[in-house]
Amino acid sequence: MKTGRIIRSLAGYYDIMMDDGVVERTRARGQFRQKNHRPLVGDFADFESENGEGFIWALHDRKNDLVRPPIANVDLAIVVTSVVEPAFSQNLLDRQLVALEAAGVKPVLYFSKMDLLDSTDRQNFDATLAEYRAIGYDVIVSDEDVATAFQPILKNQVVVAMGQTGAGKSTLLNTLAPELQLETGVVSKALSRGKHTTRQVSLILVPAFEALIADTPGFSSYEVFDFPVEELGNYFPEIKAVSGQCRFRTCSHINEPGCAVKEGVALGSISQARYNSYELFYQIIKGKRPVYQKTSQKWRQ
């Protein structure tokens, strides 16, 4: 029996890399389909192989997993967010951050295409960057020395790069590791949507960072809320930090008096835009379906 990490999944086959760097192709035995427990890229698996044919027998327990993108056992996620083309959506960004917080995966925020902002828009958008930094998130922007900024963050980590189609995930990874030569796409101005250049989840060894980095398919929306509404506040760090000061222990931070979160919004210590995301997600989880606004450009004048 051999053990390794699944680094690629394609058409029912799973490529498994062992500690010595050797990669073997396997298939999952029927027991996984019967139990509806599908192997994911990032899983550690026990397998046997003979005459070039391998079969996965068992999966190890996961420390975490994500539904979108489907990947397991990651240390951190680079959330790639375009500021234009496609237009910046704080709603979409906050959805991804909530999903990562719920899964226990550390987010790193990367904002692409900063050079396309004029000086006024850049100054206004800096206020949004400051809000996320104040929460405690690592924030990196595309018009700085990206490789140097990422070096201490990515070293010896298992990383997933995720984000909207056309946001620039493959472009970022090509910057970090030019030898990868990943295909990049051009955003359609008519659809404000990028060509899908990544069609599978694959973990790629990047020697410069001694890291495994996953490039993943993009998406145009993000609808993952698979937890009780009472837990939502735990996945907004700035809300979690003050919620213990609310008058009621079960405060939803929506209508109750003596709410420390709403007081923080009124005083400016909690971002109004972030609270708007919280309020929208709360209603969605409760079963109410307000109109989903894809773009949020409050920084534009």
Q: 146-154 and 169-176 are packed helices; what angle lies between their axes, rounded to 10 degrees? A: 80
Cβ within 8 Å of residue 60, ≥6 positions away: 43, 44, 45, 46
Between CA 144 and CA 146 the distance in angstroms is 6
Q: Would you say 253 is a known binding-site residue?
A: yes
Contact 102, 231 (CB under 8 A): yes
Per-residue pLDDT of the chain (301 residues; tens, 9 = 90+): 899 999 998 888 999 999 998 999 999 887 776 666 789 999 999 999 887 789 999 999 999 998 878 899 999 999 999 999 889 999 999 999 999 999 999 999 999 999 999 999 999 999 999 999 999 999 999 999 999 999 999 999 999 988 888 888 888 988 888 776 654 443 333 323 333 334 567 888 888 888 999 877 765 556 668 899 999 999 999 999 999 999 999 999 999 999 999 999 999 999 999 999 999 999 999 885 544 444 444 444 3
pLDDT of residue 188: 30
- State the amino acid at position 296 in one-letter form: S
Contact 16, 23 (CB under 8 A): yes
Contact 112, 167 (CB under 8 A): yes
Q: Which of 273, 263, 211, 221 is nearest to 242 (CA)?
A: 263
Q: How far apart are the first and last CA of the chain?
A: 62
CA 226 to the chain's CA centroid: 16
Q: Would you say 246 is a known binding-site residue?
A: yes
**Continuous segment of H or E residues that includes residue 140:** strand 138-141
Q: Would you say 175 is a known binding-site residue?
A: no
DSSP reduced 3-state for 246 = coil
Contact 211, 77 (CB under 8 A): no
CA dihedral sign, ordered 195, 200, 201, 203 = negative
pTM beyond cutoff 0.75: yes
Q: 90-103 and 272-285 are packed helices; what angle lies between their axes, rounded to 10 degrees? A: 70
pLDDT of residue 291: 46
Q: Would you say 60 is a known binding-site residue?
A: no
Dihedral, CA of residue 274, residue 278, residue 284 and residue 288, to nearest 10: -100
Neighbours of 230 (CB within 10 A): 11
pLDDT of residue 194: 37
Contact 125, 143 (CB under 8 A): no
- The upper half-sphere exposure of residue 274, i.e. CA atoms within 13 Å in the direction of its Cβ, equals 29
Q: Would you say 272 is a known binding-site residue?
A: no
DSSP reduced 3-state for 218 = coil
Between CA 249 and CA 234 the distance in angstroms is 13
Q: Would you say 113 is a known binding-site residue?
A: yes
pLDDT of residue 280: 94
Q: Would you say 82 is a known binding-site residue?
A: no
pLDDT of residue 274: 97
Q: Would you say 19 is a known binding-site residue?
A: no
Q: Would you say 128 is a known binding-site residue?
A: no
- The conformation of residue 61, written as its DSSP 8-state character, comes to P
Between CA 138 and CA 76 the distance in angstroms is 11
Q: Would you say 114 is a known binding-site residue?
A: yes
Between CA 236 and CA 131 the distance in angstroms is 13
- The CA distances from residue 290 to 254, 269, 282, in Å, are 16, 26, 11
Q: Would you say 170 is a known binding-site residue?
A: yes
Q: Would you say 273 is a known binding-site residue?
A: no
Domains and CATH numbers, the chain: 2-59 (2.40.50.140), 65-215 (3.40.50.300), 229-285 (1.10.40.50)
pLDDT of residue 287: 85
